[in-house]
Amino acid sequence: AQSVTQPDIHITVSEGASLELRCNYSYGATPYLFWYVQSPGQGLQLLLKYFSGDTLVQGIKGFEAEFKRSQSSFNLRKPSVHWSDAAEYFCAVGAGSNYQLIWGAGTKLIIKP
């Protein structure tokens, strides 16, 4: 069955420290992979996506993610977090003819001053 797992419900990181949010997927074909961020009171914003090609994908706000087929992973990284990065992060796989999104449960990022 198709699924997306984000093993960390929440993560706390000090401002200026590096960040890695984990995402594992289960999907039969080559996946379309996405990371979205949802800030309080705001809509979901697309951070980055992977369709094909270079497995290291650059996104907005200084985020990047690496697709590793052998590990069925698409982890999100940022070298130095800012307080404004505090939000909920969702990993998703696009599936089916309409590219419906299969969502992970989300990881809440907390930034320590």
Partner 1 sequence: GAVVSQHPSRVICKSGTSVKIECRSLDFQATTMFWYRQFPKQSLMLMATSNEGSKATYEQGVEKDKFLINHASLTLSTLTVTSAHPEDSSFYICSAREATSSQYFGPGTRLTVL
Binding site for partner 1 (CB under 8 A): 32, 34, 36, 42-46, 49, 51, 90, 94, 98-101, 103-106
Question: Closer to partner 1 at the Cβ: 14 or 100?
Answer: 100
Are 93 and 38 in contact, with CB atoms under 8 Å apart?
no
CB closer to partner 1, 62 vs 94: 94
- Nearest distance in Å: CB 110, partner 1: 14
Q: Which is nearer to partner 1, 42 or 70 (CB)?
A: 42
The burial of 73, by beta-carbon neighbours within 10 Å (0-12 exposed, 13-18 middle, 19 or more buried), is given as middle
Instruction: Evaluate whether 64 touches 75 at the Cβ level (below 8 Å).
Output: no
The residue (of 51 and 83) whose beta carbon lies closer to partner 1 is: 51
Q: Which of 79, 107, 108, 89 is nearest to 16 (CA)?
A: 79
User: Shortest Cβ distance from residue 59 to partner 1 (Å)?
Assistant: 12
For residues 30 and 19, give the distance between their C-alpha atoms in angstroms, rounded to a whole number: 26
DSSP 8-state symbol, 51: -
Q: How far is the CB of 72 from partner 1 (least distance, A)?
A: 19
* Min CB(98)–partner 1 separation in Å: 5
